[in-house]
A and B are shown apart, each in its own frame.
Chain A
Amino acid sequence: MGDLFTLPVLLGIIYYGIRFATPYLFAAIGETFAQRSGVLNLGVEGMMLMGAYTGFYVAATSGNLWAGLLAAAIVGGLMGLLMAVISVTFQATQGISGIGLHILGLGLSTLLFTTTMTGVATIIGFPSIRIPLLGDIPYIGDILFNHNVLVYTAFLLVPISNWILYKTTFGLQVRAVGQSPQAADTLGVSVKKIRYITVTLGGVLAGIAGASLSIALINVFQENLTNGMGFIAVALVYFGAWRPYGVLLGSLLFSFVNAFQQWVQLKGVAIPADVAVMMPYILTIVVLAFSARRSTKPAALTKKFERGEA
């Protein structure tokens, strides 16, 4: 037990906590935009899977990681667009259509994997970039400033998306549409257009989240690679009270606890492995339960919008 609370273990937890918060950040920030405009997209997991597959396949066949990333973003965006068509234009129940897209992404990525690839393969992913000077700071340099480009991008996305949501006209329109679409419509804001943009953007970021796994963090593609990460990302949006910095906190907390439970096992702490594995999920449920009251859920979340309806 004493071995657990040492500097190397702490540094290890922080390093991997930061690294593996990346896919959650991309997916959850994309979902934040969608939910802020009133659309609950439960298809994030399927979009991540398609992004992971496309990113890996294109990068492996073209030899270009950036081409893989771009392809993942496009495929994710197209799935987001499909979600928007179903839930905004056809006004299908958002939860159900999201689950449908999840199943589509899971099935299609598995089918494509088994038909286009001869088997599981690995790839050399985006390399770590040590930031000059900052990367040389003892201890902190390595854990904070020696990651690959997608890790840095995911963390940069937090202040950028916060700025977009709270300091730009577009952000104001997104929040207005999610809070009171009728009022926004009266003021000349196109509710459908805003929702199309946010849900498609959510798809793009979910695609990149998947690719961050397959070509930057794990560098392999396998059936059901994301293994529920997309659903955790949706939970993290609630956890973060629909705010980018809240999402950041949730992603880091979940990721840190996940890394911590592995060290708990490694250092032989007398806790059954099954209990250790459950730790991040238990923590998420507990925090969600306690944060439910203070959360500021968009008033029009999951609600259909039809012009003229009160």
Chain B
Amino acid sequence: MKRMLFQLSLVLVLVSLVIGGCAPAATAVPEAAPAAEKTVIVEVEKVITATPAPVEEKLFRIALVLPSTTKDSAFSQAMFEALMKVQEEMGKDKLEVAYSESMFKLPDAAAAIRDYATQGYNLVIGHGSQYGSTIAEIAPDFPTTAFAWGTTVNTFQSEGINNVFAYTGTSEFGGYVMGVVSAMLSKSKKIGICGPIETGDNRNYVKGVLQGVNESNLGATATAIWTGSYSDVTAMATCAQTHIQDGADVLHGMSQAATGAIAAAKENNIYWFNHQYDNSSLAPKVIVASQAYDFVPTLKDMIATINAGVYGGKVYTLTLQNGGLEIRYNKDIEIPADVMAASDALLEKVKKGEIKIPLD
């Protein structure tokens, strides 16, 4: 009997639970509402039918493939920080970012680029001029994915590929201004340059420095040593030390390996001018100025262009005029007023297009 009662009560409990579970939710019922039961049903029905279909804000997804780390104090860090800024502005719910660091081996980078495209990222950036042929090979397989690479002006449109953006910088003009400034600051009138590989924006920057030093008419000379590597920190360090031993008292350099040269400049208390990234915090007493990339406007425009249904074919040129490149002076170093005045005047000339720097 007891068992029968138990089973009966169990069934009742289960039935009530099922009925309760199937009943419409009553959470929206205002307690003070008149004729509660009727109103509830009407109100609930109304709410359900009156709610407009949710507008699905599409999540934009960007993947970034970098040759070095996001903390390289150079080209990679400049792009990574710009992307983080854009994400901060748009919100993480609107912009998803994925990245692969240290992709200095091309097969690894190619695998990462293809993998991101397969995963449906809207924009895949191969941040290095070494990734060009890889992107040209992969892009045609994913016509609705946008790709970008730089520094270059080649979007491969001439080869029938329409989903690749390119970006480049007119680094020579900043090099020119900083070349003149370095000649003015140099006492020995010997300026040394440590470059990684003589190509792209590094080559152009050095061309600018050489012309700037030459046209400063202060009797200064500048010479460049190329280490043949973007990552050989030791070679950069010996480069700086060789220049210093030769009597140079102002140095220029760029790339992630430049940290070795900057350490040498710091040790010998020699002025340093940097290209690509503002790393004055690395050696606040010797880094006079940096020509830094700002990729934020470029990234924003790429996103807008892709959202408008265009996946490539555009070349972005980052300049001192459009803010894609910026000369940032280190506030910890007191620069003579006449030098700053000369720098401002030259910048004006650059912006007006009055300075010509042949790159051939």
Q: Which residues of A contact B (CB under 8 A)?
A: 8, 12, 15-16, 20, 110, 113-114, 117-122, 124, 213, 217-220, 222-227, 229, 258-259, 262-263, 265-266, 268, 273-274, 277-278
Contacts and interface: CB of A to CB of B under 8 A. Distances in A.
Interface in B103-127: 104
B158 interface: no
A213 B234 contact: yes
Main secondary structure of the interface of B (DSSP, over half): mixed
Given A113-B69, A117-B71, A220-B260, A277 B282 contact: no
A246 B235 CA distance: 24
B238 A16 contact: yes
Contacts of A273: 198, 225-226, 228
Contacts of A117: 71
B233 A119 contact: no
Nearest to A122: B263
Given A120-B259, A121-B282, A222-B233, A12 B69 contact: no
Contact of A218 (B77, B231, B246, B263): B263
Contacts of A263: 242
A223 B69 contact: yes
A12 B248 CA distance: 14
17 contacts: A16-B241, A20-B238, A113-B69, A114-B70, A120-B259, A122-B283, A213-B233, A218-B233, A222-B231, A223-B68, A224-B102, A226-B234, A227-B234, A262-B225, A266-B243, A274-B226, A277-B235
A125 B232 CA distance: 19
Nearest to A272: B198
Contact of A114 (B101, B192, B233, B267): B101
Contacts of A20: 234, 238
Given A113-B71, A119-B71, A268-B223, A222 B256 contact: yes
Contacts, number: 117
A118 B70 CA distance: 10
Interface of B: 68-73, 77, 101-102, 104, 192, 198, 223-229, 231-235, 237-239, 241-243, 245-246, 256-257, 259-260, 262-264, 266-267, 279, 282-283
A266 B68 contact: no
Contact of B69 (A114, A227, A229): A114
A262 B242 contact: yes
Find the residue from A16, A118, A227, A258 having the highest chain B CB count within 10 A. Answer: A227
Contacts of B226: 265, 273-274, 277
A14 B296 CA distance: 47
Nearest to B245: A12
B282 A120 contact: yes
A44 to B, nearest CB: 16
Contact of A222 (B101, B227, B259, B283): B259
B282 A265 contact: no
B237 A217 contact: yes
Contact of A16 (B227, B233, B242): B242
What are the 9 closest A-B residue pairs judged by CB atoms, nearest first?
Answer: A277-B228, A273-B226, A119-B71, A220-B263, A12-B245, A218-B237, A122-B263, A120-B73, A265-B225
B238 to A, nearest CB: 6
